[in-house]
Amino acid sequence: MPAPHIPVLCDSVVTALAIQPNDRVLDGTLGFGGHAQAILNHLSDDGRYIGLDQDPAAISYCQSVFQLDSRVSIHQCNFRDIHRVLDASVPVNKVLIDLGVSSYQLDHETRGFSFQHADAPLDMRMDPTHAQSAASLLNTAVEHELATIFNQNADLDAPKLVQNIVSFRANRAFESTNDLLSVIKQSFYFRNSRRNYIAMVQRVFQAIRMAVNDELVALQTFVQTIPNYMPSGSRLAVICFHSGESKRLKRILPASLTPVQKKVIKPTYAERKKNSRAACAQLRIYEKL
């Protein structure tokens, strides 16, 4: 079966991390193993690859793909809980996190991540055991919490959307992606442009997904903890997809991680043409002092 996710900036990740045959690599967002495979191609038998993901679907896919590769160990774990997997006495010298969702999660009709499955349950949890789904968040968050979610996660000042969410749930609970779409339609003026409509729907869905999965807090915890497991001279690669992630990353970066280069690495035109989901990807590389 072809992998249900195309990895972005794959060659750039391998080059920027300067992967060496004996590296001990931590991948905090294993997904469907695209970056894993590209990096493993450069590791010798003495190299090690530790892959984490919080989504059990990604874990079971990668367990079957890499089951015969003794260099690989796979853990279902949120990268904010890295202490559960790593031991500071056995450090990792190359680290990758590729933020956001996989194409599998977006395309899966029952996960509720995408507006394209209009009657899907409004779920959006990457870890299905997590307590709060998107529906439960929309049904319970107070107005100022909703306003902060849209503002912080999608740069969106949306008082009318917040008001319409509150009016909707006064009549009946949010259940499906359709419920959210109907509220978005009432809340903005799209100038008869489907492109404007889709752009707004994506921003609102992204903001809610980030809140459901507590993504910025996970990123902050990880970036502040991971240097404890990295020796001096080791490297961290972070792939972001929007300004909410990039801004937070810049704000929380500990002094022990220094950018290897000022310019962010972006996909080439050819990569963007082949994979439209790569369009917004930005790769940043840091070195541990």
Rounded to a whole number of angstroms, the minimum distance from the CB of residue 169 to ligand SAM is 27
> Is there binding between residue 7 and ligand SAM (CB under 6 A)?
yes
- Distant-in-sequence, close-in-space partners of 110: CB < 8 Å, separation ≥ 6: 117, 120, 121, 123
- Interface pick for ligand SAM out of 49, 61, 66, 79 (rule CB under 6 A): 79
Q: What is the separation of C-alpha 62 from the centre of its chain, rounded to a whole number of angstroms?
A: 17
Cβ neighbour number for residue 229 with a 10 Å cutoff? 22
Q: Which residue has the tokens 């853990």?
A: 75
Q: Does residue 29 interact with ligand SAM by CB under 6 A?
A: yes
Residue 244 sits in the site that holds ligand SAM (CB under 6 A): no
Cβ closest to ligand SAM, residue 3 vs residue 166: 3
The answer to whether 100 contacts ligand SAM (rule: CB under 6 A) is yes
55 forms part of the interface with ligand SAM (CB under 6 A): yes
Question: Should residue 82 be labelled a site residue for ligand SAM when binding is judged by CB under 6 A?
Answer: no
- State the nearest-atom distance from the C-beta of 61 to ligand SAM, in Å: 9
Minimum Å distance from CB 29 to ligand SAM? 3
Our finding on whether 126 is near ligand SAM (CB under 6 A) is yes
Phi, psi of 145 (to 5 degrees): -65, -45
Please list every residue from 186 through 225 that binds ligand SAM, using CB under 6 A.
218
Cβ proximity to ligand SAM: between 14 and 52 the closer is 52
Let me know how long the chain is.
Answer: 289
In one-letter notation, the amino acid at residue 28 is: G
Residue nearest to ligand SAM (CB): 31
CB neighbour list of residue 51: distance below 8 Å, 6 or more residues apart:
27, 30, 33, 36, 62, 66, 72, 73, 74, 75
Write the burial class of residue 6 (CB in 10 Å: 0-12 exposed, 13-18 middle, 19+ buried).
middle
* Interface region with ligand SAM, contact rule CB under 6 A, candidates 18-26, 28-36, 110-118, 255-263: 28-36
267 in contact with ligand SAM (CB under 6 A):
no
Choice from 31, 112, 244, 267 touching ligand SAM (CB under 6 A) = 31
CB-nearer residue toward ligand SAM: 74 or 161: 74
| Least separation in angstroms between CB 214 and ligand SAM | 8
Stretch that binds ligand SAM, among 15-23, 74-82, 173-181, 256-264 (CB under 6 A): 74-82
Q: What is the DSSP string of 127-186?
A: STTSS--HHHHHHH--HHHHHHHHHHHH----HHHHHHHHHHHHHS---BHHHHHHHHHH
- If DSSP codes are grouped into helix, strand and coil, which group holds residue 25? strand
The CB-side HSE value for 17 (13 A sphere, CA atoms) comes to 32
Is 27 or 179 the residue whose CB approaches ligand SAM more closely?
A: 27
Token pair in block for residue 83 = 């202490």
Binding residues for ligand SAM, rule: CB under 6 A, are: 5, 7, 28-29, 31-35, 52-55, 58, 78-80, 98, 100-102, 126, 218
